[in-house]
Structure 1
Amino acid sequence: MAYVNKNFSWALLLILLLFVFSSYARLSIMVTKSEIHTICTKKRESSSLCFEVVKANPEIARLDLSSLAKFFINYQAQNISDTLKHFKLSGGYTPDINSTYHLCVELYEDAFNRRDSSFKYLTAKDYDGLNIMVGGTVSDMVTCTDDLSTMKPIPQFFMTRSIVIENLSHIILTISECFLKEEKSPYCPPYV
């Protein structure tokens, strides 16, 4: 009987240790405050937006870096979708009304359609592919804001929305380049 109790005690201790170590392992892969700070301060232009999004979404503290990238891809897609609806509601989606609005609608649709490919690349850990998708969105938003800036009066709402979406792209690129990719970008801080 003493032999069974001793084995039971060892088994219980082993289970307890496995539980503690698995809990520690889970916690250690969650995004840290330091990582959030690095992500949010990497590109000065997107810093306040990044901290604003993180602060408004407490579930971010429970995510790992890949899930954080997915969160920002979803968040960006929602912003693209909402702004695209505003473009279409403004009446500027018909080519004969305004070619700039028509161009921006096409660019926004292209950017939104990249979401699924971004998820596929992220899941496959193909961060170069992910960066190409996200970089395409940056390019689309820059083209749209360049064209919008030539209008009189300048449509500030659409300019601001396009800049927000561009900044969200930079946040995603920072997560990918500085944390997810095995070979870090030379533009990442050395302590990453």
Structure 2
Amino acid sequence: MGYCSECGAEADVDAKFCRECGTELLDRSQSESSTIPDETESLDEESKSSTRGEPDSSIENDEEGIDTILAVASVGMGLIVGMLVALAFAEIGGSAFWFLVTIVGVSYYLYSRKESPRSAIGSGLYITAIWLILAPLLFYMGLAGGADPDTAAGTGQAVGSILGMVIWGFVGLLLAIVVGAVGYFVNRGAD
């Protein structure tokens, strides 16, 4: 026996149209794959399963809770990037503000991707590599910008800042390449 998808009346297996409403009936093979079970039938099944003490099979086991390991990995990478950003803004100003914004932003970004903790660490290492290049440049820009060019001390500060930008920028670049490569292999292993 089959049922009409419009009115719910019983229909013979061989019937092409519903006797009650005249709606065209689908083949048995089509109706099984495309029909939605009646709500009353699913409610009856739920009440039967709950009265027998069995878990309710109609409720999906969704993963809406907090993934603790992913959260710890995301926040850990957020802290590392936040420290680099705080270093970058130490001379410019607002390092505490940017530290907090970076922790929240990076942690949220890495956690919201809902991938594995290993993937979050790999992506966090990519972000760290970018900031390893930017942090020394921004730090020394703040020093160079605050130098007084009319005094010898100010000129020395400006020259020292430019040298620091070049030297520590290059060191940051080398570290960024290493950290980026580690991030690549961590991400590659996460797949």
TM-score band by shorter chain is 0.3 to 0.5
TM-score, with structure 2 as normaliser = 0.35
Q: Using CA pairs below 8 Å that are at least 6 residues apart, which structure has the higher relative contact order?
A: 1
Larger Cα-atom Rg: 2
